[in-house]
Structure formats: structure tokens, C-alpha cells
């Protein structure tokens, strides 16, 4: 994808390349060969690969790489809203903006520093943004690739506004799966969900793992902090750990909706599942000077591996 000469930044062990639009992307690598690529366009994670070089995040073959819209795939940062409401863009506007590298982020508490290679990105609300969302904020994202290949995203949102504001947030995460009908999610059993396909009506999930045989678009509320996506065919499990993100959106467009999306292949719903750590049901409120943190950690393990849910 990149076409410029790589420049190594020894301090953070990162490489900077550029996408087709000339927008910088930061490549993180670990010593075993895993990698992650994060774009300054929206702070979007465009790629996360394991030690074998296999891509773990889905990007549509029909994705449109044209600013200002974020491309369909990877992990996009949805703020100050997820979904659509009022005049704001669907899933918020920061995913469609150009962020900067934050060379001097405010310190994090030492328990919050994961190690590995990382990059700090920053988006500050602009005069233009204030016209349709009149609250000044700073959104910082630290994206880290740990020595074992885990991907960690830590977002910090600070109110630099004179009055409080409320928001919702999501990491819109497109996972690659081998075949959606062979996938199940564990950890959401008996949890309540709002069904976007039934006017957000509230239901309670059954006691079994979630499987897929038709379109799904749900917001699971007040979920456990660890859930797992098991890809039976590939014998691979994604473990999703989250903090500050009580809710989880599960989305697969299935056949009909796939065909209706211009930037999504007709059959691609079979190879993709969105499982988004989010704070949606109860919006977060920040008073002036306050900061909120939402952390997502993604791990991939062989399905035989046992972990505590």
C-alpha cells in the first residue's frame, strides 16, 4: 500500500509510510514479525497481522480509499456518536478527519503503559467541527503492538470545553473469519441486547453461544469485560478484553444488505464479523477538564487454548 521511503523512528520502533492519498500511516512491528498499521486518517487501524503475516482485520475488496470518508474495514474510532442521530455523521466525524502524531502526550499512569511498540495520535476539535458539535475536546489514541502480538488501543477523551458534554464511543472492529456460519461468540450468553433490526427493542440473549445464520445488528449492554470469537474452521479464537466499554455491538450484514452496500462485496459477509467494544447505552458525560479512557485489547490464540471468560 505505501509507496514512500520508510523512515525509522527508533524511539517508538515505528515506520511511517503513506497511503494512496498521501496520508501518513504508522506501521508498528514486533520482534517476532507481527505488525499493525494505523492511519492518520481517522486514527483507523487498517491492518493487524500475526507472526505468520496473516491479516486479522477485514478490509473490503470494494473499500473506497478516498478522503474524507473512512474506508470500510479495520478498526475505526466512532466518536462522538455511534450509529446515526440528529445531524451528525453516522458513527461520528473523527473517523473522517486527519489526525496528527502526538509527540508529547500527557503522562499516563504507569499501570496503563503496555510496552511494545506504539504510536500516540491526537485529534483536536476544529473550528469547523464546532459548527455542528459545539464542544471542544482532545481525543488521544495510543495504539500498541505488544511483544506477543496483541493489539491494544487506548483512547483518552478530554473535555477542554467550558461546559459538560455527553458522547458515545465505539471501536468499530472488523474481524476476519473463515466462514461466518462456523463462528460463535462466547461471553454474551444471557446478556440483554437492543436489536437495531427491531427498532432497538430490548431482548435477552439465550444461554448458548451466539451463532450466525442471518443478518445481525445488536447492541449488547453491560457486557462482561472479556468475550471470545471462535472461528471453528480456522481453529482460531479472538479474545477481546475491554475497559471502560460496557457495551458490545455485533454486526453482520448478511446477503441482502451486503449487496446494497457499494463498498462491500456481495459475498464478503461470510468472511467478516464486527464485534465492537463500545460505550453506547449510557452516554459518557465529561465535565470541563475531565478525561475518559476506553481500552480495547485484542489477542489471537489457537482455539484449543483455554482462557477465562
Which residues of this protein are in contact with ligand BG6, per CB under 6 A? 90-91, 172, 196, 217, 249, 251, 274, 276
CB 153 to ligand BG6: min, Å: 16
Residue whose beta carbon is closest to ligand BG6: 251
Beta bridge partners of 293: 156
Q: Nearer Cβ to ligand BG6, position 245 or 274? A: 274
Q: ∠69-73-79 over CA atoms, to 5°?
A: 60
Dihedral of alpha carbons 63, 64, 65, 68, sign: negative
Q: Nearer Cβ to ligand BG6, position 158 or 172? A: 172
Q: Nearer Cβ to ligand BG6, position 156 or 172? A: 172
Beta sheet of 24-29, edge-to-edge order: 7-9, 14-18, 24-29, 35-39, 45-49, 75-78, 165-176, 272-286, 247-252, 216-220, 192-195, 201-204
CB 221 to ligand BG6: min, Å: 14
CB 250 to ligand BG6: min, Å: 8
Dihedral of alpha carbons 122, 251, 278, 218, sign: positive
Q: Where are the alpha helices (DSSP H) in 49-132?
A: 127-132
CA distance 1 to 283: 37
CB 156 to ligand BG6: min, Å: 23
Q: Nearer Cβ to ligand BG6, position 120 or 268? A: 268
CB 84 to ligand BG6: min, Å: 8
Q: Nearer Cβ to ligand BG6, position 91 or 236? A: 91
CA distance 303 to 290: 40
CB 127 to ligand BG6: min, Å: 25
Q: Nearer Cβ to ligand BG6, position 34 or 94? A: 94
Amino acid at each position: 500500500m505505501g509507496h514512500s521511503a520508510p523512515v525509522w523512528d527508533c524511539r517508538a520502533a515505528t515506520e511511517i509510510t503513506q497511503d494512496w492519498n498521501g496520508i501518513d500511516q504508522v506501521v508498528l512491528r514486533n520482534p517476532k514479525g507481527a505488525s499493525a498499521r494505523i492511519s492518520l486518517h481517522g486514527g483507523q487501524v487498517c491492518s493487524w497481522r500475526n507472526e505468520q503475516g496473516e491479516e486479522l482485520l477485514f478490509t473490503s475488496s470494494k473499500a473506497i480509499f478516498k478522503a474524507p470518508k473512512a474506508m470500510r474495514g479495520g478498526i475505526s474510532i466512532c466518536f462522538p456518536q455511534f450509529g446515526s442521530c440528529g445531524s451528525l455523521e453516522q458513527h461520528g466525524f473523527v473517523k473522517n478527519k486527519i489526525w496528527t502524531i502526538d509527540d508529547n502526550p500527557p503522562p499516563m499512569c504507569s499501570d496503563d503503559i503496555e510496552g511494545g511498540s506504539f504510536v500516540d495520535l491526537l485529534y483536536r476539535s476544529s473550528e469547523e467541527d464546532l459548527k455542528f458539535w459545539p464542544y471542544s475536546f482532545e481525543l488521544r489514541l495510543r495504539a500498541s503492538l505488544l511483544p506477543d502480538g496483541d493489539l491494544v488501543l487506548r483512547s483518552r477523551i478530554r473535555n477542554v470545553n467550558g461546559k459538560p458534554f455527553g458522547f458515545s464511543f465505539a471501536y468499530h472492529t472488523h474481524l476476519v473469519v473463515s466462514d461466518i456460519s462456523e463462528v460463535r461468540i462466547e461471553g454474551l450468553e444471557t446478556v440483554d441486547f437492543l436489536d437495531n433490526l427491531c427498532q432497538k427493542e430490548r431482548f435477552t440473549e439465550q444461554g448458548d453461544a451466539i451463532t450466525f445464520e442471518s443478518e445481525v445488528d445488536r447492541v449488547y449492554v453491560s457486557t462482561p469485560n472479556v468475550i471470545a470469537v471462535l472461528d471453528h474452521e480456522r481453529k482460531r479464537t479472538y479474545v477481546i478484553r475491554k475497559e471502560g466499554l460496557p457495551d458490545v455491538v455485533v454486526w453482520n450484514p448478511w446477503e441482502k444488505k451486503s449487496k446494497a452496500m457499494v463498498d462491500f462485496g456481495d459475498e464478503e459477509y461470510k468472511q467478516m464479523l464486527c464485534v465492537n467494544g463500545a460505550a453506547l447505552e449510557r452516554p459518557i458525560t465529561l465535565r470541563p477538564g475531565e478525561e475518559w479512557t476506553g481500552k480495547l485489547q485484542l489477542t489471537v490464540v489457537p482455539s484449543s487454548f483455554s482462557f477465562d471468560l
